[in-house]
């Protein structure tokens, strides 16, 4: 009886040590897996947003320059407001690109051997939520800008003046640059969508 009591008293500490060791290894493995996910998703989101953002910025700048020519049909309040919203969407996309790059830095910090360099879960979740908000606002601004630009183009194409003069006045015809600026807005929306998907994926990965 005494021997049984001694065995029972001595067993739990060793079991607890083994359990703590297993839990520590499991936690470290999960942290490394999350870190790799942050780096991969962060870089994919970063490059998609950067490439689409640069292309859209060039097109919007060209449209802004050529639409200011005297007599240009694109020089009207509707197009101007649409371009303003498109630029706002590109500015928020720049913030989204920075946040995507920050995701890769978070992944790098999680891989550090120094526990003091590991970001807290609360801080990481806040960054991801801010990324979601930025991409949602940017997508909304870009969609509103696209609506204004497309509405202006539709009004030009179906107006009686355009119908009667488009065969004689080239300025009344919807040009390729007009269509390119619509494509630029589509690219910006796609870039924000990519950032949105990346943030949701990482947020789901870290909170489950």
What are the pLDDT digits (tens) for 19-37?
444 445 566 777 788 889 8
Distance CA 126, CA 136 (A): 15
What is the rounded CA–CA span in Å between residue 142 and residue 88? 8
Structure letter (DSSP) for residue 173: S
Give dist(CA 140, CA 85) in Å, integer.
9
pLDDT digits (tens, 9 = 90+) for 100-137: 999 999 988 888 777 777 888 888 899 999 999 999 99
Q: If pLDDT is split at 50, 70 and 90, which confidence band does 8 have?
A: very low
| Average pLDDT, rounded, for the chain | 79
Task: Report how far residue 39's alpha carbon sits from residue 44's, in angstroms, rounded to the nearest whole number.
Answer: 9
d(CA 72, CA 51): 29
Contact 93, 184 (CB under 8 A): no
**φ and ψ at residue 72, rounded to 5 degrees:** -70, 130
- Quick one: which of 201, 121, 198, 208 has its CA closest to 190? 198
pLDDT category at 6 given cuts 50, 70, 90 is very low
Token digits of residue 120: 């807290």
Comparison of pLDDT for 10 and 160, the residue scoring more:
160
**Is the entire prediction scored with pTM above 0.85?**
no
Nearest Cα residue to 203 out of 96, 124, 117, 102: 124
């Amino acid at each position: 009886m005494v021997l049984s009591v001694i065995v029972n008293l001595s067993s739990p500490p060793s079991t607890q040590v083994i359990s703590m060791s297993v839990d520590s290894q499991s936690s470290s493995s999960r942290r490394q897996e999350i870190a790799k996910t942050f780096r991969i998703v962060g870089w994919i989101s970063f490059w998609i947003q950067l490439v689409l953002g640069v292309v859209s910025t060039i097109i919007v700048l060209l449209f802004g320059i050529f639409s200011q020519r005297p007599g240009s049909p694109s020089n009207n309040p509707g197009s101007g407001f649409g371009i303003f919203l498109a630029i706002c969407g590109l500015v928020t996309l720049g913030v989204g690109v920075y946040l995507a790059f920050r995701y890769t830095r978070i992944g790098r910090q999680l891989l550090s051997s120094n526990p003091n360099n590991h970001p807290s879960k609360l801080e990481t979740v806040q960054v991801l939520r801010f990324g979601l908000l930025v991409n949602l606002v940017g997508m909304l601004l870009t969609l509103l800008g696209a609506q204004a630009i497309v509405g202006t183009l539709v009004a030009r194409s179906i107006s009686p003046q355009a119908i009667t003069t488009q065969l004689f006045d080239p300025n009344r015809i919807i040009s390729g640059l007009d269509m390119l600026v619509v494509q630029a807005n589509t690219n910006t929306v796609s870039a924000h969508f990519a950032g949105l998907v990346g943030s949701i994926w990482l947020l789901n990965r870290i909170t489950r």
